[in-house]
Chains A and B, each alone.
Chain A
């Protein structure tokens, strides 16, 4: 499990860097998809609890450090989302991949509401007005970007798991001489 964790952690770091550098140049009207959230959702579907929480927390912590205003809020929201999605996936409610992507959108939308609600309590002065079209737009962007990213992440995860299994394949003992 160590190699997939490291690989996806590295991908998460790369996504944070891309999100905070390259995607900043996208036009404002287009908004910027939260690519890291897509990774959080993927980790919830595919990773076990312990590595999942470790990776999600460390990555969202980075986002918080790089872009957060109120420290700890974004990691908390993402961990809650991770827990919710993980719980649903382990309870076999959403094993079907058909529901996974729409659920990413739904959870992201709810996370936005949560973040806004908590921010309105903690930072009421600097909070901009809630915008339904803006939230919807961001959610749609996350859903749209989740489709190719999930395909990529799945392929990479499968490849890493197969490599690990090949490495663990038991060696055949030579036949005992009669």
Chain B
């Protein structure tokens, strides 16, 4: 019984405290609201609240801005990557086109040179495209797309804008094989253009030519031009062959060893001009056929 009354007392005290607390709270709230609404001033409590919320807002805003910036940067980076890919593709395409244009220009220049040469020649040459090359040291031959159907015969000479290319070695219906002038088995009567000193120009493969049988006393210098001498009847006189690149005078022997750099690059031959004059037959009929 005593316990019950004690509990009852405790409960009533608790509820009284609660009611008092509520009234106090309502009073405080009411006063604050009245002060805020009627006073209309931004008082110290307001300032304190703003100082409390402000830093929190600042942190969140900065973080959000950072995240947004990061996202924007990432998106921009993606755009840059896409753009880069597109530009790279464009560059590839343009480089491809540029290559084609360069090739076209190069072909044009080459054909122009051929045309100029053709106009200078006394005979009417036949232009032939190089379709195959045999670059080994012992053979040094090329195949061109002109043959017997084009009246090409063995022994005819092949020229390029730079000078002598070689001589037709074999012919088929539509193709011919040309022995290049720098082949070891090739020998051409040549002379030094400046001093008119003659010799035999032997093929030396990749080294070009060797001019043989030039006396030690002969006036030759590095850089002198070597042209065909026109003696054997095969090549007309004065066609460029190359330039002297090295002269060696040994103690023994009466001749100089002269290396000649070809005037044309045999590796880059694309077109050649064939002289349709059948010099070989003419020489045969005169019984003057030279030994190759």
Contact = CB atoms under 8 A, between A and B. Distances in A.
B53 A62 contact: yes
A49 B25 CA distance: 10
B25 A53 contact: yes
B40 A18 contact: no
A66 B56 CA distance: 12
Interface string B27-65: 001001111110110100010011011001100110010
B21 interface: yes
B115 interface: no
A36 to B, nearest CB: 12
B36 A16 contact: no
Contacts of A71: 36-37, 39-40, 42, 46
A25 B72 CA distance: 15
If over half of A's interface residues share one DSSP class (helix, strand or loop), that class is named, otherwise mixed; here it is helix
A124 interface: no
A48 to B, nearest CB: 9
Contacts of B77: none
A49 B61 contact: no
Contacts of B61: 21
Contacts of A16: 53
A110 interface: no
By CB atoms of chain B within 10 A, which of A53, A71, A72, A73 has the most? A71
A101 interface: no
B57 A17 contact: yes
A63 to B, nearest CB: 9
B64 A21 contact: yes
A6 interface: no
B18 interface: yes
Contacts of B49: 61-62, 65-66
A70 B64 CA distance: 29
By CB atoms of chain A within 10 A, which of B18, B35, B60 has the most? B60
27 contacts: A13-B53, A16-B53, A17-B60, A20-B57, A21-B57, A21-B60, A21-B61, A22-B60, A25-B68, A50-B21, A53-B22, A57-B32, A61-B49, A62-B49, A62-B53, A65-B50, A65-B53, A71-B39, A71-B42, A71-B46, A72-B32, A72-B35, A72-B37, A73-B37, A75-B29, A76-B33, A79-B33
